[in-house]
Structure 1
Amino acid sequence: MRVPLIAILLAFLFACVPEGTDWQVSEVKAPAGEGGEPNLFVAETGQLYLSWVAYLDDTTDALLFAVWEDGAWSAPREIASGTDWFVNWADFPSIAAYPGGGNVLAAHWLAKSAGGTYDYDVHISQSADGGQSWSPSFIPHRDGLAAEHGFVSMQPLSADRMLAVWLDGRNTKTEEASTAGHEHGHGGPMSLRSAVFDPQGELGEESELDDRVCDCCQTDLALTQAGPIAVYRDRSESEVRDIYCVRQIDGRWTSPSPVYDDGW
C-alpha cells in the first residue's frame, strides 16, 4: 500500500509531540486580496512582515505591507504605487528589515523600462521610520539596458548593509533589440547578479555570481555563520537546470556548485 508523503510526515510530527499537548489552530484572514502575490519576511527579532500588490484601478498598482502585532495583522500601509509596473504571478515584490528593531526597511518592485514585454527594472525603496514614509526608489543594476531584471531576493547582512540578488537579462538582448525596446533578442543567457546597499541607498560593487542561469525561476538568500548563501536554478549548455548555490566567504563569492546533481 502506498502512503502519501504528507501522511508520513504528519505521523512523524505527532509522534514527537508530548502526550497531553493541546493543539489550537486559528484561521487568520490575510489583508492581501485575491491575486495579490503575498510574500512574508521574518526579521531577526521574529517580527513578521507581509507584503502584497493591490490593484487600485485598471492602470495603477500599489505595494502594501502589514506587520503581525498582538495576534493580528496591522492596518495596511502603502510603500509605493505606479502605472508602469510589471506585475507577474511568478515574479513578485518583497519587503525586508535591517537588524536593529524594525525601523529600517527595504522593499522592491518591478517597473517597465521600455516597450518590450520583458523590459523591466528592479526598483528598491527604503524607510527609516518603520514604513511610515518611503524614499524615492533606486535601481540596483547599473547596466542601463532595456532588458529583464527580476526574481529578486534580499537579505540583511548587518544594521547598515542589505544584500540583493536578481536574475539579470542584460546579456540576453542584442544591442539593436536593447535600444529599440523589442522583445528578447538573440544574445547570451540570463545571469545571476548581486549588489549590497545601505539604508541611504548607496550601492556597493555589483557582482556576477553565475553567467548562465534559468530565465524565469526563483532565487533565495540565507545568512549563515560563514556568510550569505544564494540558491537558484542553473542552466547548463545541455539545458540541465539543477538547483545551484553560491556562497560569500571572506568577502568573496565561491564558484557555483549544484545542491545535488538531479539532472533536471
Structure 2
Amino acid sequence: MHRGKGMKFVGDSRIKAEKTSQIPKDYSEYPGRTEAFWPNFLLKEWLVGAVFLVGFLILTLAHPSPLEGMADPTDAAYIPLPDWYFLFLYELLKYKYASGDFILFGILVLPGLAFGALLLAPFLDNGPGRRPHQRPIAVGMMLLGLVSVIWLTYTSASHVNWQERAEANKPIPESSVVVDTEHEGFAAYEASCMTCHGAELEGSAAAPTLVGTEHSAEEIATIAKEGIGAMPAGIFTGSDEELEQLADFIITVNESAE
C-alpha cells in the first residue's frame, strides 16, 4: 500500500495558515522597556492587589474600626467629622473658593477635575518609557495629587483633639441588666424616660445611666416630676400611681443588676 494512498487534503480559505491572534507580541528585542498587557502586566497587578487585600482584611480583623457613642441630635456642640480618608475633602470645603457661594465648585468641580486628571494621566503621557523622568506629565500629576491629599488631611487632622474626642465619645457598653417589660411601671418608663435614658437604662449623651443609681424610690419620683441638673421639670406627666410604679420599676431593675 503506497503511503498517502486513499487520503485527501481539503483546504478551507476561511482558516488562516497561522493563527496568531491569541499570541502576544514578542518584546524580547526591547528588554525592560515594555511587555504584553495580558497576561504579563495584568497578572502582576492582580498579585499585588491580592496581597494588599489579604493584608487589609487581616488588619480589619485584628483592629476593628472604633465606633463612637450613640448619635445625639440634641447635642448642638458636637462637630461631625468624616472618616480619615475623606478629611482632605472636608478641609477643602473650608477654603474661600470652595465653600459658601462656591460650594458647588468645591464639592463637584475641583474633585472632578482632580480625579479626572488622574484618570486621563496615562493617555496624556503615553510615551514608551516607563521610568519616572521619561513620563513627566503623569508623574507630575500623580505627585501633585498625592501631596495635596496628604497636606489637606494633615491640616484638617491637626485642628482636632483626637484624644479628647475619643474620650468624650466612648461607645456605650452593653448593659447587663434584665428589664422586665411586664412590670407595671415599664409603660410609664417607656412613655417618659426611654427616649433619653435608653431601653435598658444605659443612658445616652443626653442623659446619664440609671443603672447603679443610689436614689431611693421617693427621690426618683421627685426627680421625675421636678427635674434635676440639665433635666427640666415636667418630663413625667402621669398620675401619682404611675409615678410610684415608675420609681419601683427603676429600683427593681437596679436590684436585678446587683
TM-score, structure 1 normalization: 0.16
If you compute each CA radius of gyration, which structure gives the higher value, 1 or 2?
2
More relative contact order, 1 or 2 (CA 8 Å, 6+ apart): 2
**The structure with more strand, counted as a fraction of residues:** 1
TM-score by length of 2: 0.16
